[in-house]
């Protein structure tokens, strides 16, 4: 994640800065802060950093910054230990180069037909992201001019050596010996890596990002595997099943935060967003609504992963897997506070499974795979909750008369189980209708989590904002600081109140007087012509 202002000082190309802005990155990881100034100056660099620390951007940006898009020959070679990592790195390059006309990125790995790769070389590419075995095959075939490679990056160098690629790497580096710059990143620095760095790099800067002590509180950790297009649907189901008091959903970019928040609001959830583009006053207001449970679903970037002191968050969802493993710990640490238990669920696409393994190793904790919930699961949970509520009421209700009616009239024609099933179905359908009514209360043009109410008194009645607040707090238990915008016109007033208190306020305010006038309070609707009131 990137701090845009910090990068403006480094002289990156405008197209790269535009990509950074569009991706919504917010702050640099430690390895990015240390490596980028050095790499952008053209110096050789050895960076020791764990997987998941954001090191891809630490070499991707310097590579893209030096590329000549008009030259159709390969200028940079990035070596990765596995096909999966090569694909992932290639995807990151594509995102960062999306505004750079003419820049071609080619992933090269075994398992893909070599003729297709040969054709891509013939058409022209500037950046190759490859596994050692397959790129060495292309070097032997003379698929491209190795002498024009200006920059070589070894990503997860220790892993490549562990997989037996040392001889291949040395041969590749020999064929690209005219390069201007070499960058190497490794989680560890064993003897073989030191020897490789000494023989292949020119006075490299040595950077080391220390792994901080990791503690994971008493949190149940799960992951669910799905396609990206399924995430909103699954998130909705999770909220319906767990019915948490408060939930924080973490995304990697501001754009994704906005997209997810909009989607959840359209589905009727009391959701709001929190990211770095918001002014401090906006952040404070949103957090106040979240703390007071006016909003119970907060969609946020990692700006909310640290320093957010809210004790009642009982569900954390990683809509996106964090770039930095340490950020995972900060994210899930928003739940399970003050001795409470919490739940953290991470959404994982099929090509991200290696990230979960990395996080599990980093945190030294088990992250269990959980099945993606279905609609049937939601009905089962809602039914169980409703039965639980009914069982509590049954203990206090005088039911003898009704037992007699059932015994006398239904014993022969219908089973007790069928009767109970029918009544449960009827109750759940009525509950669904009530939820729709609640949604209509919120659909009044008010702020997120609020409902807009109409009062038939205004400036002509000498009504002031304090009168409205006093009337509402005097008739209900609602605190004055939870009341939102108050707009007073000549003959009427609009006031925003928390959605979940709207029905209580409508009921309690019947016949109440403001400034000696008996008022009428109703839900504001766009269909009504208030000008004529």
pLDDT beneath 70, residues of the chain = 1-6, 24-27, 50-53, 210-217, 280, 305-309, 311, 337-339, 381-386, 388-389, 392-393, 408-413, 419, 428-445, 525-533
CB burial class (10 A; 0-12, 13-18, 19+) of residue 87? Answer: middle
Please give the pLDDT value at position 527.
43
Q: Which fold has domain 450-532?
A: Alpha-Beta Plaits (3.30.70)
Closest CA to 110 of 85, 135, 144, 91: 135
Confidence (pLDDT) at 2: 43
45: nearest Cα among 241, 181, 227: 181
How many Å apart are CA 38 and CA 16, to the nearest integer?
18
CA distance 455 to 478: 17
pLDDT of amino acid 214: 59
Residue 64 has what pLDDT?
A: 96
**Can you count the helices (H) and strands (E) in the chain?**
20, 20
Give the pairing of strands 368-369 and 219-225.
Answer: parallel
Strand partners, 450: 498
CA distance 197 to 208: 14
Helix (H/G/I), strand (E/B), else coil: 19: helix
DSSP for 88-105, written as a single string: HHHHHHHHHTTTSTT--E
Give residue-wise pLDDT tens across range 207-251: 987 655 555 667 889 999 999 999 999 999 888 888 888 999 999
Rg, C-alpha atoms of the chain? 30
Strands 450-455 and 493-498: antiparallel
> Which residues make Cβ contacts (< 8 Å) with residue 330, sequence separation at least 6?
302, 305, 306
Q: What is the 3-state secondary structure (H, E, C) of 79-91?
A: ECCCHHHHHHHHH
Count of CA atoms in the C-beta half-sphere (13 A) of 459: 5
Q: Which residues pair with 497 in a beta bridge?
A: 451
The Cα 249–Cα 388 span in angstroms is 28
- Phi first, then psi: what are they for 189, rounded to 5°? -130, 70
List, for residues 352-381, the tens digit of each pLDDT value.
888 898 898 888 888 999 888 887 777 776
Q: How far is CA 51 from CA 186, 188, 357, 422, in A?
A: 8, 10, 10, 55
Q: Could you state, in order of their start, the residue ranges of all structural domains in the chain?
A: 4-208, 221-373, 393-442, 450-532
In CATH, which of 3.30.450.20, 3.40.50.300, 2.40.30.170, 3.30.1330.10 is domain 4-208?
Answer: 3.40.50.300
Write the class of the CATH domain 221-373: alpha beta
Residue recorded with tokens 């919930």: 373
> Could you give the angle at the alpha carbon of 247 between the alpha carbons of 242 and 251, nearest 5°?
120
The count of other CB atoms within 10 Å of the CB of residue 294 is 23
Q: Please say whether the beta carbons of 48 and 194 come within 8 A.
A: no
| Spatial contact of 207 and 38, defined as CB atoms under 8 Å apart | yes
pLDDT at 1: 41
Residue 498: other Cβ atoms inside 10 A: 24
Q: Where are the beta strands (DSSP E) in 114-162?
A: 127-130, 151-154
* DSSP-assigned states of every residue in 204-256: PEEEE-PPPP----SEEEEEEE--GGGHHHHHHHHHHHH--S-EEEE-SSHHH
Predicted pLDDT at 436: 45
Q: What is the pLDDT of residue 423?
A: 73
Q: Do 4-208 and 221-373 have matching folds?
A: yes
- DSSP code, position 53: B
pLDDT of residue 374: 83
Q: What count of other Cβ atoms lies within 10 Å of the Cβ of residue 422? A: 11
Give dist(CA 52, CA 92) in Å, integer: 13
Give dist(CA 165, CA 162) in Å, integer.
7
């Amino acid at each position: 994640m990137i701090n845009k202002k910090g990068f403006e000082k480094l002289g990156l190309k405008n197209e790269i800065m535009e990509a950074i802005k569009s991706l919504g990155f917010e702050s640099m990881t430690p390895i990015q802060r240390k490596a980028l100034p050095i790499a952008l100056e053209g110096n050789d660099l050895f960076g020791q950093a764990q997987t998941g620390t954001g090191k891809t951007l630490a070499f991707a940006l310097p590579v893209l910054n030096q590329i000549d898009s008009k030259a159709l020959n390969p200028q940079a070679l990035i070596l990765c230990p596995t096909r999966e990592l090569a694909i992932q790195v290639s995807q990151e390059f594509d995102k960062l180069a999306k505004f750079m006309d003419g820049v071609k990125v080619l992933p090269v790995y075994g398992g893909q037909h070599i003729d297709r790769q040969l054709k891509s070389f013939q058409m022209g590419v500037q950046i190759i992201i490859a596994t050692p075995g397959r790129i060495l095959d292309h070097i032997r075939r003379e698929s491209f001019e190795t002498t024009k490679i200006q920059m070589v990056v070894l990503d997860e160098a220790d892993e490549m050596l562990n997989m037996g690629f040392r001889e291949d790497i040395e041969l590749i580096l020999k064929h690209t010996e005219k390069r201007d710059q070499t960058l190497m990143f490794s989680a560890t620095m064993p003897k073989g890596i030191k020897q490789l760095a000494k023989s292949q790099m020119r006075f490299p800067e040595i950077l080391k990002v220390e792994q901080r002590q990791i503690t994971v509180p008493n949190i149940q950790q799960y992951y669910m595997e799905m396609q990206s297009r399924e995430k909103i649907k699954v998130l909705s189901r999770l909220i319906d099943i767990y019915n948490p008091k408060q939930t924080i959903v973490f995304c990697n970019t501001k754009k994704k935060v906005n997209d997810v928040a909009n989607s959840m609001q359209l589905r009727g959830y009391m959701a709001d967003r929190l990211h770095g583009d918001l002014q401090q006053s906006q952040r404070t207001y949103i957090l106040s609504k979240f703390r007071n449970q006016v909003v119970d679903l907060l969609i946020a970037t990692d700006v909310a992963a640290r320093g957010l002191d809210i004790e009642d968050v009982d569900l954390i969802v990683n809509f996106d897997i964090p770039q930095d493993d340490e950020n995972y710990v900060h994210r899930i640490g928003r739940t399970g506070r003050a001795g409470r238990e919490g739940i953290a669920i991470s959404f994982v696409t099929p090509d991200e499974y290696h990230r979960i393994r990395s996080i599990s190793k980093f945190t030294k904790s088990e992250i269990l795979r959980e099945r993606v919930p279905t609609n049937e699961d939601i009905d089962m949970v809602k039914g169980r909750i409703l039965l639980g509520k009914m069982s509590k009421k049954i203990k206090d209700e005088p039911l003898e008369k009704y037992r007699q009616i059932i015994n006398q009239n239904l014993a022969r024609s219908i089973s007790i189980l069928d009767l109970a099933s029918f009544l449960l179905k009827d109750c759940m359908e009525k509950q669904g209708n009530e939820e729709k009514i609640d949604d209509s209360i919120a659909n009044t043009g008010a702020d997120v989590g609020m409902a807009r109410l109409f009062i038939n008194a205004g400036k002509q009645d000498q009504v002031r904002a304090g009168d409205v607040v006093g009337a509402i707090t005097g008739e209900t238990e609602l605190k004055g600081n939870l009341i939102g915008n108050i707009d007073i016109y000549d003959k009427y007033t609009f006031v925003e109140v928390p959605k979940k208190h709207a029905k209580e306020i409508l009921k309690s305010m019947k016949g109440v007087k403001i400034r000696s006038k008996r008022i009428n309070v109703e839900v504001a609707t766009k269909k009504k012509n208030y000008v004529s009131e």
